[in-house]
Amino acid sequence: MIDSTTIRQVQDAADILDVIGEHVALKRAGKNFLGLCPFHEEKTPSFSVSPSKSIFKCFGCGAGGSIFQFIMRKDRVSFPEAVESLAQRLGIPIARSQPSPTAQRKVDLASVNSWAAGVFRSNLQDQVLGRSAREYLATRGLSPQIQEQFKLGLALPGWDGLIQTAASTSRSAQSLAAAGLVTARESGQGWYDRFRNRLIFPIVDASQRVIAFAGRSLELADEKSGAKYLNSPETPLFSKSSCLYGLDQARDSIVRKNQAVVVEGYTDCLMAHQHGLTNVVATMGTALTDLQAGLLRRFCERVVVVFDSDQAGLQAADRAIDVFLGQRIQLSVAAVPQGKDPCDYIISHGIDAFGQIVDHAVDALEYKWQLARRAQQDSDSPAGQHRAIEQFLASLARSAHFGSSDPIWRGLLLNHIAKLLSMSPVQVLAVVNQLKSRTARRVQPADPSGPVSTASAQTPLSAMDKALRQVLEVLLNKPSYIEKVAGVIAPEDFSQADLQTVAEAVFKWAGDTDQPQLSDLLAGQSSLDQADLITSLAEQGSRKGNFQPNLSGAMDYICSYRQRRNSLDAAESIRRADSDLSDEQVNELLQQVQSQLKTQNRRNPGIRV
């Protein structure tokens, strides 16, 4: 973990105009500088840099933050990587604070995995022990060079080979068990290797840490004896739903091309890299997930998903489309013909032919529409086309991702869908909403305390939420007002998760620092979405001005709301009172509460926030 003092030192030493000016042509506009946003296409400058505040803000796409968030977006790197990159540029040594127990555990797991990867690699390279595995790789057409590049290895057939090797290096079986490399025997006495007689694919993250392994069975004569592929179990370092195989090798190429190609198999990924197509990654035996899509979004704006042309591949492609509906990313879908997987297709037809498949990938929504039309035998007739359109839009109505996307992206999707269907965006939205309502009526939630539905998640902010939001807008511009807020409002009062997270950071920043600077708050944000939200709230508060009246109005409304809420709760308690109270006493108490409510409503009719 990078020390906070070092982060502050790097930020103070960097000139945000110099760094951003290398990528954006900036012109002075009053106190700030304007230019064309590097993160989205535009003709009119909406990208603003404030040297005095050391922040940037795009009024077109919403991107914003400090110099660190700019580097994170531009280079598609994590927050620590952005700090290290800028520190190296400025010649500032990186000081690291003592890692937390969780962070230290991840360091320990990565160390064990790195050691195990070396053992597996040595096994494969051994002239005797690794011969049959190398022969298998040769039959698959995987060269020694690609094996070395991806550090392929071999788990030996014995039950305790890795354990015995670990003992000779003073590594404990418990440390191997924590990394998922060994398993406790049912008797409770001793351990045995998880991976046995398997070709090993080390899984490396974008930070070059070995986080897990996948093992391909080498019992080729009888693969029914066990799982063909076996992954490491979930650990604090590894979750297969959030990782992509080959990302460590493909990242630079993905950033350079602004495109990622996603395949299903490890050997598919390896074969593509071996033949020079290096922006390819693979899922890990699962359908593409939200976390994997979000990971790719860090590095590129375009993704091509390549699946087998069998029914399972088509279904996997359909699931991938659903995942990407909620992501601000351009998705295309390609299918390998003749029932082949990408690895076999590259071997038989060459990388140029496979590249043509990628280059001619179909836009994801258009692909989904083609599937819907193909499902109708008479899709050219009005009735058939009506059924196809309804089937297509019904799949969108069922998608939580489509409903939860931000308004701008959802509008762009609606325009695109409207063109595909020869309808207007208004008509498309009306049909989707109608189908969504129809589905909601059919499916009643079993647990009323369960997750909030997509429809309710899109409900406009209540007056209370707006008042709380206005408090943050003021504090981000006038952190000294925290004394007026502390003790009255807490982060827990914010019903929206993203605002609650921001409130926690803002309250700490405003209360713990003598002279809080907005850039300091942003410098501690590792989430680009949170940095965007903080910058947006600060800008909105600055534009409104009138900080003292706006804060007073918001606080008055919040206090009034609580009083009215308490009065209503008291009235409800009276209605449920024990029978010890007479009817006259209950009515008298109710009249008192109602009188108090009327007085409070006259004094506090509400504020415009």
pLDDT, residue 401, reads 63
CA separation, residue 387 to residues 311, 372, 383, 390, 394 (Å): 22, 9, 6, 5, 10
HEC per residue, 408-477: HHHHHHHHHHHHHHCCCHHHHHHHHHHHHHHHHHHCCCCCCCCCCCHHHHCCCCCHHHHHHHHHHHHHHH
In this prediction, residues 192-213 reach a mean pLDDT of: 92
pLDDT, residue 514, reads 65
pLDDT, residue 182, reads 94
Q: Is the dihedral of CA 282, 285, 287, 290 positive or negative?
A: negative
**Is the pLDDT assigned to residue 222 strictly greater than 60?**
no
For residue 204, what are the β-bridge partners? 210
In this prediction, residues 461-466 reach a mean pLDDT of: 76
DSSP state of 106: H
Is there a contact between 428 and 417 (Cβ–Cβ < 8 Å)? yes
Comma-separated ranges of CATH 3.90.980.10 domains in the chain:
101-238
Is there a contact between 272 and 349 (Cβ–Cβ < 8 Å)? no
How far apart are the C-alpha atoms of 506 and 422, rounded to whole Å? 48
Pairing label, strands 210-217, 198-204? antiparallel
Q: Please give the mean pLDDT across all residues of the chain.
A: 82
Q: H or E segment at 535?
A: helix 528-544
Burial group, residue 366, by CB count within 10 angstroms (0-12, 13-18, 19+):
middle
Burial group, residue 113, by CB count within 10 angstroms (0-12, 13-18, 19+):
buried
In the block, which residue shows the tokens 């033949």? 275
For residue 305, what are the β-bridge partners? 262, 333
3-state helix, strand, coil in the chain (%, to 5): 55, 10, 30
pLDDT digits (tens, 9 = 90+) for 73-115: 888 778 888 898 899 888 888 877 676 687 788 889 999 999 9
Q: 572 falls in which pLDDT band (50, 70, 90)?
A: low
Looking at per-residue pLDDT, the higher value among 480 and 453 belongs to 480
Q: 457 falls in which pLDDT band (50, 70, 90)?
A: very low
Is there a contact between 211 and 201 (Cβ–Cβ < 8 Å)? no
Among 213-217, 409-413, 431-435, 463-467, the range with the most confident prediction by mean pLDDT is 213-217
Comma-separated ranges of CATH 1.10.860 domains in the chain:
461-609
Q: 593 falls in which pLDDT band (50, 70, 90)?
A: low
- The torsion angle over the Cα atoms of residues 31, 36, 37 and 39, rounded to 10 degrees, is -160
User: What CATH number has the domain spanning 461-609?
Assistant: 1.10.860
How far apart are the C-alpha atoms of 223 and 199, rounded to whole Å? 13
Looking at per-residue pLDDT, the higher value among 347 and 408 belongs to 347
pLDDT digits (tens, 9 = 90+) for 389-439: 888 888 777 765 665 556 777 788 888 888 888 888 888 888 888 877 765
Among 282-291, 321-330, 582-591, the range with the most confident prediction by mean pLDDT is 282-291
pLDDT, residue 159, reads 92
Comma-separated ranges of CATH 3.90.580.10 domains in the chain:
4-90
> What CATH architecture does domain 4-90 belong to?
Alpha-Beta Complex (3.90)
How far apart are the C-alpha atoms of 201 and 178, rounded to whole Å? 19
According to the CATH classification, is domain 101-238 in 3.90.980.10? Answer: yes
For residue 216, what are the β-bridge partners? 199, 229
User: What CATH number has the domain spanning 249-438?
Assistant: 3.40.1360.10
Q: 311 falls in which pLDDT band (50, 70, 90)?
A: low
**Is the pLDDT assigned to residue 578 strictly greater than 90?**
no
